[in-house]
């Protein structure tokens, strides 16, 4: 059996732009990249790998994200998958609290190597599934405090969190923790909605307000916020203009129709420069034909190809965290939206700083 068939690392590990003289194969040490991020450099043989189906068939075992090892803390990791099972920020349908569980179920068919882009994330970074945050199921003010506190512990270790939502409220406390670690960040956001309402029925913390709250709290660099895919109705003509007045780059869905988004992402990369960047992907940014398992459907959305172009277009940015939100498994069909969410989280892993790419 060839090494590739049993999921063994077959490529020599090289992290680009690293100033070190030591052999990454020989030493367990830490090195610093050009963006001052420290990577754990345990030899590649010791890096976590997704469990291969020839070791245990896919229907077997515990459904961690991509069948990665589970550990309770982020210590020692370059990146982690972590669930935030919240849905008390929604105003209509509920169900995103089950998003992390069902994303994990669908993720068991994903494979380690990205044959579309050449990325070999598990030969480059130490990654694990660290389970779900413990948060209030009954009080959203308490829940956002719970989320911020636990995400803070993760990011303070230097680990980059890849977060399974959860309704979009979660991005607010996540950005607060990110700001405490990195200062204000750029934001790449895919969404049908701007999520910049001031309040809904007097409530300030709901899934329609996270970007406004994050901006008010100084978490964002206003002219480095890019919202892609906005469309549909609103409660005022001001819906998308509020963000523009703050300095956001707003790219309505109609501006994306019938075209590749690679040129847009070139612009976004240039805009972000070396700034730390957070990526939030509300699954309703994609068309309901692609992602039906969500709560507030808006037709005329982005295609799956465009979603991939946006994520892959973040390669080269100084990404410090990312999430996929608003997946409602109860409204999904055949697990396709949950599977898409798993795919997008994997693609996000593939564009993190330090991931090695191979020619295809």
Cis peptide before 334 (omega within 30 of 0): no
Does 167 bind Mn ion (CB under 5 A)? Our answer is no
Does 195 bind Mn ion (CB under 5 A)? Our answer is yes
SS3 139: coil
Q: What angle do CA 114, 119, 125 make, to 5 degrees?
A: 115
Q: Which of 168, 179, 212, 315 forms a contact with Mn ion (CB under 5 A)?
A: 168
In the complex, minimum distance from the CB of residue 322 to Mn ion, in angstroms, rounded to a whole number: 14
In degrees rounded to 5, what are phi and psi of residue 190? -105, 130
Of 146 and 323, the one with the shorter C-beta distance to Mn ion is 323
Question: Of 183, 173, 132, nearest to 318 (Cα)?
Answer: 183
In the complex, minimum distance from the CB of residue 244 to Mn ion, in angstroms, rounded to a whole number: 17
In the complex, minimum distance from the CB of residue 195 to Mn ion, in angstroms, rounded to a whole number: 4
Of 50 and 99, the one with the shorter C-beta distance to Mn ion is 99
Does 213 bind Mn ion (CB under 5 A)? Our answer is no
Of 10 and 200, the one with the shorter C-beta distance to Mn ion is 200
Does 298 bind Mn ion (CB under 5 A)? Our answer is no
Return d(Cα 312, Cα 348) in angstroms, integer: 8
Size of the site for Mn ion (CB under 5 A): 4
First vs last C-alpha separation in the chain: 22
In the complex, minimum distance from the CB of residue 164 to Mn ion, in angstroms, rounded to a whole number: 15
Does 282 bind Mn ion (CB under 5 A)? Our answer is yes
In the complex, minimum distance from the CB of residue 293 to Mn ion, in angstroms, rounded to a whole number: 15
Contacts of 53 (CB under 8 A, 6+ apart): none
Contact segment (CB under 5 A) with Mn ion among 31-39, 72-80, 90-98, 280-288 equals 280-288
Does 78 bind Mn ion (CB under 5 A)? Our answer is no
For the range 99-102, what are the long-range contacts, defined as Cβ-Cβ under 8 Å and sequence gap of 24 or more?
Answer: 99/164, 99/165, 99/166, 99/325, 99/326, 99/327, 99/328, 99/329, 99/338, 99/341, 100/132, 100/164, 100/165, 100/166, 101/329, 102/327, 102/329, 102/332, 102/335, 102/338
Of 282 and 332, the one with the shorter C-beta distance to Mn ion is 282
Q: Contacts with Mn ion in 34-53 (CB under 5 A)?
A: none
In the complex, minimum distance from the CB of residue 283 to Mn ion, in angstroms, rounded to a whole number: 9
Contact segment (CB under 5 A) with Mn ion among 76-84, 86-94, 134-142, 163-171 equals 163-171
Q: Which residues does residue 286 pair with via DSSP β-bridges, in sequence order?
A: 302
Q: Which of 106, 191, 287, 309 forms a contact with Mn ion (CB under 5 A)?
A: 191
4 DSSP 8-state letter: G
In the complex, minimum distance from the CB of residue 193 to Mn ion, in angstroms, rounded to a whole number: 5
Does 179 bind Mn ion (CB under 5 A)? Our answer is no
The site for Mn ion (CB under 5 A) is made up of 168, 191, 195, 282
């Amino acid at each position: 059996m060839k090494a590739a068939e049993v999921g063994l690392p077959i490529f020599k590990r090289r992290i680009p732009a690293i100033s070190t003289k030591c052999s990454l194969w020989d030493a367990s040490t830490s090195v610093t990249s050009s963006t001052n991020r420290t990577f754990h450099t345990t030899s590649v043989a010791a890096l976590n790998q997704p469990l291969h189906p020839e070791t245990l068939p896919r229907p077997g075992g515990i459904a961690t994200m991509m069948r990665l090892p589970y550990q309770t803390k982020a210590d020692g990791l370059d990146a982690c998958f972590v669930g935030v099972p919240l849905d008390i920020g929604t105003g209509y349908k509920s169900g995103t609290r089950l998003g992390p569980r069902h994303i994990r179920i669908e993720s068991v068919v994903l494979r380690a190597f990205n044959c579309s882009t050449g990325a070999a994330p598990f030969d480059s970074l130490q990654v694990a599934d660290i389970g779900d945050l413990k948060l209030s199921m009954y009080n959203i003010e308490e829940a956002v405090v719970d989320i911020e506190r636990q995400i803070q512990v993760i990011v303070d270790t230097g680990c980059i969190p890849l977060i399974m939502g959860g309704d979009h409220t979660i991005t607010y406390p996540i950005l607060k923790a990110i700001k405490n670690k990195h200062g204000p960040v750029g934001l790449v956001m895919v969404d049908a909605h701007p999520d910049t309402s001031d309040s809904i029925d007097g409530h300030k913390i709901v899934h329609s307000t996270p970007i406004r709250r994050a901006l008010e709290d100084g978490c964002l660099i206003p002219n480095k916020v890019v919202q892609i895919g906005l469309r549909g109705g609103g409660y005022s003509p001001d819906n998308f203009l509020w963000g523009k007045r703050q300095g956001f780059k707003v790219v309505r869905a109609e501006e994306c129709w019938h075209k590749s988004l690679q040129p847009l992402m070139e612009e976004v990369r240039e805009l972000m420069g070396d700034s730390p960047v957070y990526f939030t992907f509300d699954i309703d940014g994609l068309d309901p034909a692609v992602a039906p398992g969500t709560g507030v459907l808006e037709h005329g959305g982005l295609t799956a190809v465009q979603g991939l172009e946006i994520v892959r277009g973040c390669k080269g940015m100084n990404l410090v965290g990312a999430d996929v939100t608003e997946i409602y498994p109860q409204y999904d069909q055949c697990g396709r939206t949950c599977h898409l969410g798993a795919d997008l989280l994997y693609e996000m892993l593939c564009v993190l700083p330090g991931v090695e790419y191979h020619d295809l």
